[in-house]
Chain A
Amino acid sequence: MSGVEINIKQLDKSFGTLQVLHNIDFHVKSGEFVAIVGKSGCGKSTLLRTLAGLENITAGEITFNDRVVKGVQETTRMMFQDARLLPWKDVITNVKVGTPNRDKAEEALNNVGLSDKRNDWPAVLSGGQKQRVSLARALAGDPELILFDEPLGALDALTRIEMQELIEKLWTNQRFTSILVTHDVSEAVILADRVVLIEDGGIALDVKIDLPRPRKKDMKFTEYENMILEKIMHK
């Protein structure tokens, strides 16, 4: 199993007369972790949803490993801001939505540290636990690409740090390609190999984060963070 290589060429996306994404050219290496940041309504979520196959593109093309793709791909998984667990299935059955293989589901649940909750209903879990189950569900099917649509946005600060560490650990072990949409620049710099800024439907900044992992919030970290923030805020 390895991450998928993504190429986006001259992608346009419009909703009616409203152009959301314009002429996007974008390349993601196999196993790379890319964060997409930008203000609300800049089109970053739309870009993620076109990669997921949930939105059709208006023009251009998307290739995974040099193969043109359309629609939802079997090796792509997505995590949403809300966990989207099935409330009427217990935890392990929710994880099994991601794979028909029983052992893989148990293993994935174990990897997120929630094996002891396997028989519980989602309604009794905390917000962070729900997202961990959702992560296990995404991982269970050995994905080549995971799309994160602000999955940590609704969590409290401490839970968020735990989740960031967990995602980084699992990504380091399994090397699926990751694309994270977030409005938290600090989170982007903590997790990503590259941070991409989307502005007015186009790529305004594409910066490689050249810091060792796991990342510490030192001088260099702050420099990256400030540089990206300044670019977003047009200072």
Chain B
Amino acid sequence: MRLSRDLVASLLPIYPELEPEARAEVQQSVQEFMAAELTLAPWHLRSGLFVLGLACALHCRLCLLGRPLGAVPPERRAAVLARWERLAGNLGRSFLRAVRGMVVLAFYDHPLVLARLGAPDPARRQAERRAYRGRRLQERHA
């Protein structure tokens, strides 16, 4: 659980820049998404992610002399994860790529991030498009 939290913190994109409170909120949301995804994933994929996650955690602890990933500066975290990618072969790379894919997807799906990007809020867009379609159908019937 702690590794998952630290990984999310390490892999969270830096663009667009967010206020610290907003970033914390987005990070929490991404963590919740990750936890839900791991529950829903097919058993064999979930098991694979779990085993590789444990191996990654062990690697990080060894590299950081026992300190957790979240307790070191971001540059150091990035270096430790980059070393994992180099050393862990295809499976290790696939693990990190899968986790990063979920983190990035959830990050850029968050309304606070979308607002900062200048993209429409999804809930508002839904409501607008429903209303627009309703008007079009009414016009057609009229």
Whether both chains belong to one complex is answered with no
> B residues bordering A, Cβ < 8 Å?
none
> A residues bordering B, Cβ < 8 Å?
none
